[in-house]
Structure 1
């Protein structure tokens, strides 16, 4: 153990003593030695240097401008291509229009469908009802512009009376069907009337709707599903149908006068351009009362 001398009495005292045992003077403990260590902070690594942000931003702006320039060039090229295509189509259509104007219209003679009709058995009291015909008139238009890939159809319908006079069929509808009339009525499971054909049976049902109302109703419902185009004749017996798709159709029409009727049902082939359907005069089937 270390010893020190008491400053008061000079007695030797242990360094660990709090006071001098001889004189009682308190002894101050020696001040501990403080060692100072300098701690150097290690530099932090953020993982992404800030100086890189500026070059990336500049590069992004350059890329955006390049994309805008490329898109604008593509739009200009597309517009140029559309203009060239339109100009080519116009030049191509001109000679076709010229050829269409000079070509004669397609003329089709449609035979009449007149046959011998068996008169129906008269009911106990059956006054012949009046059958109102359509009054809508579609005048023919011979000077019309027809698209190159479409067709126009003019129907000229006439009937022959019992006395042999030829008359125009006025204010009657004519139809272009996608199926033959007899086949349509047969598919509807309709039975012929009085041994007549299905087409003439339909004529009888139109002439006598009070007797054959069921047949007339079912026949009209079946025919309506196959109508592609229709038109009504004017005072001159002509009807015009525009914008017809060239194809094969079945012409159908019916007219009545007092106790007689006539039915047209024939296949026709419609070509692009103008088509004229001349219906040969159909003889009226007169029914004895």
Structure 2
């Protein structure tokens, strides 16, 4: 079988979760600060991305980071251009760790209108998808944000996600569709109802061989997205931590049977640049095991 087919089998049926290591230019300074590295450690974006790559490399090369508990890892495009132990990052993930690589492909968010932020235009999308395919990347991730239960806005978010998602499928990759509902939205539960309705409409419009992954905010009502999870066109239902602490995110996730994690901040919240390798690996192992356990309910 091809690498893609092996990755597909793993992502579709194995136990585990997807690690989100795709902090972009806007979110990297905060991620580094939480890791114990201040903005005085770098002078420009290139130096910043080099520093955050060191953090990601430390996570990925840790003995705790393994394919027995982690199905995939989402990378930022800059990370795809860099190496780990002399290997292309995506190749290292699959060949050394048995972890399927995903690539963040969106170009950030537009200004809020109709209670949502759609994705910015991405004129280089097809070039990025070719680059991902050439690097044996399995899938992609793209994020929109829903701030309130505005039906028009939510319809717009989901339509855009699926429009781009079909282009990703045509390029031979599997898209993670991520319409995040803001955890602070006062009408979060209503927004989730409107979102679920739209997701099901668009799932029904896919052909039999068009498969997608949903990455959704942990819902107010446990098992709320079961109708999506059981749809034949949904490869996997995954959850974002969305600002919840790891303890809270794991608790909410454990109430949603068959939903698995794709956490970023919740995965790395106990890690620090000043930790010894032993301390770092122990903290990462504890984090990974707790998220794995919550993903196996």
For normalisation by structure 2, the TM-score amounts to 0.19
Structure with the higher strand share, 1 or 2: 1
Q: By percentage of residues, which structure has more helix?
A: 2
Query: Which structure's relative contact order is higher, taking Cα pairs within 8 Å and 6+ residues apart?
Result: 1
Larger Rg: 1
Q: TM-score, normalised by structure 1?
A: 0.19
